[in-house]
Structure 1
Amino acid sequence: MFELEGHMLLDRLDEFTLLRVLDLEGCSGLTNKHLRDICRMYLLKFLSLRGTNIRRIPPSVGDLEHLQMLDARDTYLRNVPETVTNLEKLERLLFSNKYWPPPEWQPPSGISRMKALREVNNIVIRDNIQVAKEIGDLEGLQGIVVYLDCRRENHEEVRKHLAASLCRMNALRWLNVGDTGFQDNNLDYLIDLHSPPQLLRFLRFNGRISRLPDWVGSLSYLVEFCLSFVRLEGDQPFDVLCKAPNLRIIQLQRRFYSSRRLVARTAHNFPALKEMRVSCPYGFPSVFSFEEGSMTKLETLKLEFYDEQKSIEGAKHLKKLKEVQLTGWKGNPAINRALELLKEERNRRSKDNNQFVVGVKYYFD
């Protein structure tokens, strides 16, 4: 749009002062000078910088008082200016970096002014008790990615106030909460939430936690749950999750587990579970086992096999299985063994017209 037939419309942005919507997604020629012009578009409501090469948003973005959407995902940004807290009509604030570790917006005191905010990602709270308190004032927030990075003696206070804030966010549908892995950071402050957000449909824990909170199993609207780097043991993952009445998808990611054998027991029948994805290529668990009566409605199972210790047992007990996807190195004997066992079970079901599909995605050394 901005580079048609050699006409560099980007250099004329200062002429479009009455624009309400500006979508610059993928525009490679965008510079800091252009952003200064954009921040003078007083009436702007929608701004997308997604996929551009910008490295900095000027503080004057806080002057766009009518802005409702700011999308700066897949850029070179490492942060957003503190002045965005002036945008009291902003509903969605999204940003991410193309190559570096996830960028972090450390909100300043005053974030509670952003009453219209519905979705925000990549928030990091670092030793700021006031921000941990104010997050709870965003009563209309429906989706948030928030991480703690506590490095001082007040870390327990920060955790306590963030837990209290989460209990006040009754509109939340989507929550991704974690820690940065620094020193003794952990998610144990989530275990005893007295009033967790009851409308959650998606929930992710990313960081160490002693046990899965019991309240997770009480979430009536929870559809998808994800774990990574939590390092649970024994029956921990499934004992709680099997109680969630409408849970359809479980994602188990890197270092979610610290025991060799992960067993879905007979008591773990899961009333609504349709899909489980396990992307933990190395280390524990080594064995995925399914007892009779477990995961009675499971249709899709996706597993990664990158080391030679992985194995799967009890696939015959997954009566509703329709698809199994394996991913791993070409020539890995573990994936070959699993593939043969699954094919045998598939063929055994052929007489009952109850076969499932087995797919393999190989990576080569």
Structure 2
Amino acid sequence: MYKLLRVLDILGITSPDGTLPKEIGNLIHLTYLRIRSTNIRKLPKSIGKLKNLLTLDYWDVFAETEVQVPNVLWKLEKLRHLYLPNEMGGSIEALKLHTLKDLISLWGVGGGDWTRKEMGRLSSTLSKLYVHRISSKDQLKAVLDCPSMTENGCMYALALEWYGFKMKLDALSSKQGLRKLRLIGQAPDTSYNHDQLLFPSNLAKLELYYTKLERPETLSQLGKLVSLKVLKLSKDAYIGTKWCCRKEEFPALEELKLTSLPQLEDWDIEDGAMPCLKKLSIVSCIKLKRMPEGLMFVHGLEKLHIENMPTSFSTRHQKIKEYSDEASSEGEDYHITEHIPEVIIQDYSCASFR
């Protein structure tokens, strides 16, 4: 009976020995296998028998030691979506994936020699790729020159994580097929002139972490991306002290999240900027003095989330009730955010909803 299974979702279990039974290879009709939020740190070689598998999702593993994936995945020639755990470590080096001619998603492969040897052999059908632990510029070049990243490639969503060197932001400017981009690593912008720094023009979603951008002009360049709907700047992505969103910048932006930008002090929004913004989140930007006055002109804003901000910032947007006579007073900047239907303020001690 179980041999006829086509979908198997293993979620949140704890294995006594941290392994998956070799009998998994008997489920030859499986098309979907997900192993998530488990302590399973070793897959059996019999997994190479799952010739009908279309999706192998092995992304999230709780393990104190390196995860081991046997070099048998190349046998799964129908595989389209492969998600591998960050904890693979050295076992990635033996993995061969170039036989997977229909592969669409490859999420979680590590850098190192594997990147130099295998990236150029991967299928041009790849449209979703995440490569982490990139430790040199030649490894990065191997990723950017892979078949799916060329002019005729299918790359749609790309996530890169690197360390030990600084990436030039314009390295991706020619990748016009990209719609979603996540960058994790230093990519300083101080060496660019205003008209030299370019981003893929069709981006709809952009997430930056640790990039350490310094120039407000760089954010203005992002504001010219007419298709950009989601922007997340997190963990020192921007280390400048000022940011002004000019009129007509970010014309399609619907969601903006600013997290852990500890140097940002002054933020302004001109009337006409971010006209489509619906969700705004400000988290742990501890030096930000106040909410932009121009936010009151963003009439379509539906949700504002303020978290882990100084009390002096949060109280400016709250109604404070005087319990003695049931009266209430408005914070100094309440007029800026009063038009927003849902306002959630979570500071270090409490949460309030308006």
Question: Which TM bucket (shorter chain)?
Answer: 0.7 to 0.9
CA contact (8 A) 1:290 1:317 kept: no
* More helix per residue: 1
Give a deviation string over 1:96-142, Cα, whole Å, max 9, x none.
4xxxx7655735463221112111211112134212322xx321112
Partner of 1:344: 335
Structure 1 unpaired stretches of 5+: 1-14, 348-353
CA contact (8 A) 1:103 1:122 kept: no
63, 72, 91: which one aligns with 2:80: 91
201, 204, 229: which one aligns with 2:179: 201
Alignment partners' CA distance in 2, 1:106 and 1:120:
13
CA contact (8 A) 1:315 1:342 kept: no
CA contact (8 A) 1:248 1:274 kept: yes
127, 131, 148: which one aligns with 2:118: 131
Give a deviation string over 1:82-108, Cα, whole Å, max 9, x none.
322332211112244xxxx76557354
Percent identity of the aligned residues?
A: 22
- Which residue identity lines up with residue 75 of structure 1 in the other structure? V
Task: Name the TM-score, length of structure 2 as normaliser.
Answer: 0.79
Give a deviation string over 1:274-298, Cα, whole Å, max 9, x none.
2211112x52223322233322332
- Which residue identity lines up with residue 32 of structure 2 in the other structure? F
Give the direction of change, closer, same or farther, for the CA distance of 1:83–1:341 in structure 2 (3 Å limit): farther
CA contact (8 A) 2:296 2:336 kept: no
275, 289, 292: which one aligns with 1:296: 275
Aligned residues: 325
- Which residue identity lines up with residue 296 of structure 1 in the other structure? P
Q: Does residue 1:121 correspond to 2:102, yes or no?
A: no
Give the direction of change, closer, same or farther, for the CA distance of 1:70–1:355 in structure 2 (3 Å limit): closer
CA contact (8 A) 1:209 1:231 kept: yes
Structure 2 unpaired stretches of 5+: 319-330
Give the direction of change, closer, same or farther, for the CA distance of 1:130–1:29 in structure 2 (3 Å limit): closer
RMSD, aligned α-carbons = 3.1
Deviation at 1:301? 1.7
CA contact (8 A) 1:311 1:338 kept: no
- Which residue identity lines up with residue 277 of structure 1 in the other structure? K
CA contact (8 A) 2:175 2:200 kept: no
Deviation at 1:161? 2.3
Q: Does residue 1:360 correspond to 2:342, yes or no?
A: no
Task: Name the TM-score, length of structure 1 as normaliser.
Answer: 0.77
Q: Does residue 1:286 correspond to 2:265, yes or no?
A: yes
Q: Does residue 1:173 correspond to 2:156, yes or no?
A: yes
Partner of 1:7: none
Q: Helix, strand or coil: the match of 1:360? A: strand
Q: Helix, strand or coil: the match of 1:37? A: helix
CA contact (8 A) 2:264 2:287 kept: no
Alignment partners' CA distance in 2, 1:201 and 1:30:
42
304, 309, 334: which one aligns with 2:313: 334
Partner of 1:218: 201
Deviation at 1:255? 0.9
Give the direction of change, closer, same or farther, for the CA distance of 1:46–1:327 in structure 2 (3 Å limit): same
Alignment partners' CA distance in 2, 1:343 and 1:294:
20
Alignment partners' CA distance in 2, 1:167 and 1:238:
25
Q: Does residue 1:49 correspond to 2:40, yes or no?
A: no
